[in-house]
Structure 1
């Protein structure tokens, strides 16, 4: 007696030991590729908001101490006590220590702190830290000087907010949360829409449950790490109850708590799907339950996806009312495609009874998901990038190009999988292969259609049942392994999952990277505020004569990059014969008469005979600057020569 049942399996020509090695090699290669792309080619991750201006400006030299320091941002930010600190040259607080004042006017986002009165001359350091509206921490520092630049004991912070061990753990949790959601939502959708009998398959049950556990654990970790991630950066503060309370009052904290509540509903959904639904036999009742689970599951999945849309990039910038629903739709399409792909891979490798019809159903769903991803992705790309220059000239745009490339590779591999799917045929098998290891002993003890002997010892009957179940499983595996079409499909689906892992990594990095549109807008605003020079390095030559012995020569000078802010200087002194001339002392001073700034003194260091250098020369603003060079050739012979140079 024979029956017809479809089975999938690898080609028998591939040795069993080499198959896992090949899979491991593929995944290792993909992980290496992604690591290289993210670590070597991507700009450092930054957030949506950016500092667009300050008063005083970075590097400015003011005649008298200001009463306050203000910072202007491109987007809304959240600030707390100590978010803006002003330190004097000795490292002491120059501000009053009060929380920053919100000076917002219209669309301008500005915060300020009041300074102490009677501040002495010197260089002051402004260190700031905030949380942008899309939940990412931002920080920075700059200096300004009162009277003239001076030495300072304050070191500018080298680490960005959200970095270090806490930042790494938070990024890992963010990646795990995306992966868990995709497996949870996509795996459940695969069972309901493509293979309802798979609700009773243990491998698929374990896959979906692990997706739920991963998402839940990652969400809890993000909730605990949120306070040190946006604040101190110390891992021990993850268990600070006051910090956790403060997090719960923020939009990202509320989104994480909402996600945990929805995961409670998701747990009930999973219990019904793999419990009552898997055991339901009546077709009409099962159809009604399928409809109810589909509606409930869609609502839960959309709600979980909305916790990302409400707290990250989609909730800020232009058109948030359109961007948030589009982002939810985008995440659901990703889950349907990549999560269903993971479920299909598990079914192909771990369950013997998945049919060709199931694969074709998933192929149609995947195709529809790709169409949705294309439409929503184009809108998101336009919204976050905004211009061709931002697409190639910003970190976000470059990562987006990497993502598009990976999607193209994934679609190409999926096209190969569809070709294998079209070639699938039903494989005839023996009726004995349909024996379920969980059936009762009497049914399992049947041999060649003969019932088990009721008078036989029950333990002997159970032993025979286990043996026949093992034989049935081995027969099914042998038949699977003899089908080259299913072997090709398994390999192509494995490749799809490998590329999907890489794609998910790039997508996770994109969520914490400043969008290209915002980066360019912030750069333009910063450019307009500080008016940096665009002419490039300044080179000049000044002849001199101190009137003494060996008192004639020429001063050659390079100022690089020749713009506002910090500059480097190289100065050479040549004698009349063009050879280096060693002199006891050289001094410089910069003066901007139109703004009554200066003279700003500069004392270069002697590098070698006739060669002097200085670094960190602060030019506070653009204009027609006069540079005066004093050359001393002996104890009594010196001269000062000057020339006007244009900076900016």
Structure 2
């Protein structure tokens, strides 16, 4: 037994030696491999590049990593400026598995966000986002898009919808707006009924002439007051000589002059026949469509056309109901004859009002939740409830008329009250912004280990200026690196958007005793769409200690 042990002992020694040598070689290699793997996959190159501005949209998005990724796990999405995916296609992976390619449809002018979340070959998740721009897209609309001061180059004065509390001057302006809006719908509506019923109901013509004259007088007075007060408010603090420039050289002023001209010639149009009446009504409503919120939205042709249909339907309903009420109190028999024609037209006009109103709301608002952010949304909800009541009253009136009965006075009066309330609400909410006002981000956080300031201006989807200031204790020194990231709270699955910061010399006096300051800034389209965001500041000191601060904000 001992002889066997002595014979095999050299074999074990040689085996142990070779194992030791193998371990000595393998250990550093394993350490190197682990060090490489700990870095995981990194995005080395992308097409388009972050922040790139392109004349035409790319055929595909390409992401190139430093190591293989699993193409069947994770996702790549390209989002438009309303955070909606532009394609449902799956990414393609070439043979080396180090890159991914997502084919794209033809992209129109706009800002696009590439958001990726993939898994590297070693099983670690890799995520991120960046923005590229196609063409020269206009700034995303917010409350400022509906500011007449901005449109005529007189920013900073504030409009009659700009204050948080209602002032006496604003009350007067809203009252004039209600008078103007009611007169416009009445005059246009009576003119339409005149054109549509001329020669068919001779007994109705004296009533149409009488109320047409009332409507024209109200329209002329209302338009004069509206244009004068609006011009006065816009030109506050400016010489009287500039009033002519406003009315003659700006689109807003030219629209107001057109309204005044149409109101003045309306008296003559009443005697010029049906065709002239229809043309005048179409011109009046078309000009008013250019005077509203629809003209500030894109695509302008679609929104203005929808607003024209909305006004046309409202005019038919307001003019017809006013005439029916007048007949009810003045000539009950003629009211009975007119009721069937009005009932048919009213049903169609209210349906068009609802459909065009929904269409305009879709264009005005990025999402239905915006109805709860502004007074405009609140008024729209109230108006919608009133329109629903109008539909119920209309059904009851229609059933009564179809049975050959006279319209019931109680229902007519209720319809008239609802009409008056809707006109008041419509006149007010067409003069205030449907979108909330964006406020620049100006956040400062004090702390024992770090102070930080983040500024984002103007805080709108699109191009913004980003400023980051960091103060560290003197014994820590200036930071080794500072990063600013934007994370979408509405799309938590999207990776962070890294803002490329550059140091700059700051001349603001904002020193803190015992701290040293470092300042950075950037400018570009790194805030791609409206929503809830988190600004994340990551600061690495010279000892590689990381400090992180986060601040939530939102834009519209």
Stretches of structure 1 that go unaligned for 5 or more consecutive residues are 1-73, 75-104, 111-128, 142-157, 273-292, 426-484, 543-556, 567-588, 604-618, 627-642
Segment of structure 1 superposing worse, 370-379 or 190-199: 190-199
Question: How far, CA to CA, are the matches of 1:313 and 1:138 in structure 2?
Answer: 18
Q: Residues 186 and 319 of structure 2 are in contact (CA less than 8 Å); yes or no, is this contact kept in structure 1?
A: yes
Q: 1:169 corresponds to which residue?
A: 172
The verdict on how the C-alpha distance between 1:109 and 1:192 changes in structure 2, with shifts beyond 3 A counting, is: closer
Q: CA deviation at 1:186?
A: 1.7
| CA offsets 1:350-395 (integer angstroms, 9 cap, x no match) | 2244153321111011112123223322221211123222233344
Q: 2:261 corresponds to which residue?
A: 261
Task: Please say if 1:208 is aligned against 2:212.
Answer: yes
The match for 2:431 among 486, 493, 512 is 512
Question: How far, CA to CA, are the matches of 1:218 and 1:136 in structure 2?
Answer: 26
The verdict on how the C-alpha distance between 1:352 and 1:407 changes in structure 2, with shifts beyond 3 A counting, is: closer
Q: Residues 270 and 277 of structure 2 are in contact (CA less than 8 Å); yes or no, is this contact kept in structure 1?
A: no
| CA offsets 1:120-178 (integer angstroms, 9 cap, x no match) | xxxxxxxxx97244x7976389xxxxxxxxxxxxxxxx975998555443333222121
Question: How far, CA to CA, are the matches of 1:266 and 1:300 in structure 2?
Answer: 7
Question: How far, CA to CA, are the matches of 1:241 and 1:206 in structure 2?
Answer: 40
The verdict on how the C-alpha distance between 1:253 and 1:394 changes in structure 2, with shifts beyond 3 A counting, is: same
Q: CA deviation at 1:250?
A: 1.4
The match for 1:131 among 141, 149, 152 is 149
- What pairs up with 1:58-457 in 2 under 5 angstroms? 106-107=136-137, 131-133=149-151, 139=156, 160=163, 166-193=169-196, 195-201=201-207, 205-232=209-236, 240-271=240-271, 293-425=273-405
Q: 1:491 corresponds to which residue?
A: 410
Question: How far, CA to CA, are the matches of 1:645 and 1:313 in structure 2?
Answer: 43
Q: CA deviation at 1:318?
A: 1.2
Q: 2:36 corresponds to which residue?
A: none
Q: Residues 294 and 303 of structure 2 are in contact (CA less than 8 Å); yes or no, is this contact kept in structure 1?
A: yes
Stretches of structure 2 that go unaligned for 5 or more consecutive residues are 1-109, 111-134, 141-146, 457-469, 473-477, 483-502, 514-519, 522-534, 541-545, 552-556
Question: How far, CA to CA, are the matches of 1:601 and 1:541 in structure 2?
Answer: 15
SS state at 1:139 partner: coil
The verdict on how the C-alpha distance between 1:563 and 1:308 changes in structure 2, with shifts beyond 3 A counting, is: farther
Question: How far, CA to CA, are the matches of 1:396 and 1:137 in structure 2?
Answer: 24
The verdict on how the C-alpha distance between 1:219 and 1:160 changes in structure 2, with shifts beyond 3 A counting, is: same
How many equivalent pairs are there? 344
Q: Residues 220 and 264 of structure 2 are in contact (CA less than 8 Å); yes or no, is this contact kept in structure 1?
A: no
The verdict on how the C-alpha distance between 1:193 and 1:247 changes in structure 2, with shifts beyond 3 A counting, is: closer
SS state at 2:510 partner: strand
SS state at 1:623 partner: strand
- What pairs up with 1:550-569 in 2 under 5 angstroms? 564=454
Q: Residues 167 and 229 of structure 1 are in contact (CA less than 8 Å); yes or no, is this contact kept in structure 2?
A: no
- What pairs up with 1:630-645 in 2 under 5 angstroms? none
Q: CA deviation at 1:499?
A: 0.8
Question: How far, CA to CA, are the matches of 1:323 and 1:390 in structure 2?
Answer: 18
Question: How far, CA to CA, are the matches of 1:242 and 1:415 in structure 2?
Answer: 52
Question: How far, CA to CA, are the matches of 1:376 and 1:185 in structure 2?
Answer: 18
Q: CA deviation at 1:564?
A: 4.3
SS state at 2:549 partner: strand
- What pairs up with 1:31-70 in 2 under 5 angstroms? none
Q: CA deviation at 1:515?
A: 2.9
Question: How far, CA to CA, are the matches of 1:138 and 1:196 in structure 2?
Answer: 54
Question: How far, CA to CA, are the matches of 1:249 and 1:512 in structure 2?
Answer: 22
SS state at 2:149 partner: strand
Q: Residues 313 and 349 of structure 2 are in contact (CA less than 8 Å); yes or no, is this contact kept in structure 1?
A: yes
The verdict on how the C-alpha distance between 1:506 and 1:265 changes in structure 2, with shifts beyond 3 A counting, is: same
The verdict on how the C-alpha distance between 1:416 and 1:139 changes in structure 2, with shifts beyond 3 A counting, is: farther
Q: Residues 179 and 504 of structure 1 are in contact (CA less than 8 Å); yes or no, is this contact kept in structure 2?
A: yes
SS state at 1:354 partner: helix
Question: How far, CA to CA, are the matches of 2:237 and 2:355 in structure 1?
Answer: 39
Question: How far, CA to CA, are the matches of 1:361 and 1:108 in structure 2?
Answer: 46
| TM-score, scaled to structure 2 | 0.52
| CA offsets 1:64-104 (integer angstroms, 9 cap, x no match) | xxxxxxxxxx9xxxxxxxxxxxxxxxxxxxxxxxxxxxxxx
| CA offsets 1:413-438 (integer angstroms, 9 cap, x no match) | 1122223323445xxxxxxxxxxxxx
> How much is the aligned-residue C-alpha RMSD, in angstroms?
4.4
Question: How far, CA to CA, are the matches of 1:233 and 1:349 in structure 2?
Answer: 49
Question: How far, CA to CA, are the matches of 1:493 and 1:344 in structure 2?
Answer: 8
Q: 2:460 corresponds to which residue?
A: none
- What pairs up with 1:465-614 in 2 under 5 angstroms? 486=407, 489-516=408-435, 519=436, 523=438, 530=441, 564=454, 591=472, 593=479, 594=482, 600=510
The verdict on how the C-alpha distance between 1:563 and 1:305 changes in structure 2, with shifts beyond 3 A counting, is: farther
